Amino acid sequence: MTDTILVPTDGSQESERALDIAIPLAKALDLSITLFWCWEGLPDLDEAFSQEFIEEITTREMKDRAAAVDQLAHSRLAPQGIDHQIESSVGHPAELLLELIESITPRFVAISTHGRSGFKRWRLGSIADRVVRNAQADTIIVSPDDTTPLAEEIGKIVVPLDGSERAENALTDAVQIARATGASLILVRAYLTVLATTPMGLDVAYTQVNEAAMASARLYLDEVAAQIPDIPVEKEVFSGEASQAIIDAAGDADLIVMASHGRGGLARMALGSVTDAVIRGSHKPVLVDRVD
């Protein structure tokens, strides 16, 4: 694994927002940042234009993009004292990005969910989706909504847990980041409430079931918190839908760290769909821990 954070950029301000989380992580964890850009090239114009003309356009486009990314590195990374590398290529962005991830095995990939301007035809929304589903790397998905500023330092990290080993694997990343940054953790557990749908007279039984589920969720978070006594920990237990509970708990947090899915445990949280809902519903960066 390479000690770097890979940040794809399409030249837009939206894509550069991924640096807002990559920079504090790189500084805290002593990582470099690798900026990646590519040009999709011209459509099939072999019959309309000469090969010389196509090569001229390609050279010009590559030069312009190289200058833009080099300026980005000097304006955002050099002042922070962060080592950086630049990778570039011509071709399909998602395929090239996945190949680069396999080649350099970065510690994290930080990518914005959209790019609306800049290098035009590159749209990071679909690329981010392919990366988080297929890349063999932990991926940080960043919303391009710049009306919600990201913190310059990471102070609070939300970690959803459902009792499964896969969900708890994400806690390892969160703990490492918390120790490096001095951040606190917010451990979140959601449980399903049993609703009375059978004849009257069973209210007491349903209440007991719900109270037992809540007590079990609290006990579980207490046990997890006890294993990391060196980090300040808050514990949040919610009844109902998991993704909304995570979004609510992340109100004043700086980062959400969660597994891509987890199907065990009492809560039966399906973290595949939950992760999707959190990414789409929260303006916080979401670190999706790769699950083999």
More confident residue, 53 or 34: 34
Maximum average pLDDT range among 59-63, 146-150, 177-181: 177-181
Q: Are residues 180 and 117 in the same domain?
A: no
Q: Are residues 12 and 134 in the same domain?
A: yes
- Residue range of the domain that includes 279: 156-289
pLDDT of residue 271: 43
Give tens-digit pLDDT for 203-255: 656 677 778 888 999 999 999 999 999 999 999 999 888 899 999 999 999 99
Mean pLDDT of 252-261: 89
Least confident of 9-13, 42-46, 108-112, 208-212: 42-46
Q: Are strands 255-259 and 106-112 parallel, antiparallel or unpaired?
A: unpaired
Domain boundary among 87, 120, 142: 142
Q: How many domains would you assign to the chain?
A: 2
Q: In the numeric block, which tokens belong to residue 86?
A: 């630049």
Give tens-digit pLDDT for 79-107: 999 999 999 988 888 899 999 999 999 99
Task: Judge whether residue 1 has pLDDT over 60.
Answer: yes
Distance CA 8, CA 265 (A): 36
> Under 8 Å CB-to-CB from 111, ≥6 apart: which residues?
7, 8, 15, 18, 124, 127, 128, 131, 139, 140, 141, 142
Residue 150 lies in a domain: no
Q: In the numeric block, which tokens belong to residue 135?
A: 């890349």
Residue 16 lies in a domain: yes
Q: Are residues 137 and 6 in the same domain?
A: yes
Residue 282 lies in a domain: yes
Task: Judge whether residue 23 has pLDDT over 90.
Answer: yes
> Under 8 Å CB-to-CB from 159, ≥6 apart: which residues?
170, 171, 174, 185, 186, 187, 188, 256, 257, 258
Contact of 160 with 260, CB cutoff 8 Å: no
Q: Are residues 18 and 129 in the same domain?
A: yes
Q: Are residues 132 and 9 in the same domain?
A: yes
Domain boundary among 142, 170, 193: 142
Query: Can you give the CATH number for the domain in which 267 is found?
Result: 3.40.50.620
Residue 266 lies in a domain: yes
Task: Judge whether residue 202 has pLDDT over 70.
Answer: no
Contact of 141 with 39, CB cutoff 8 Å: no
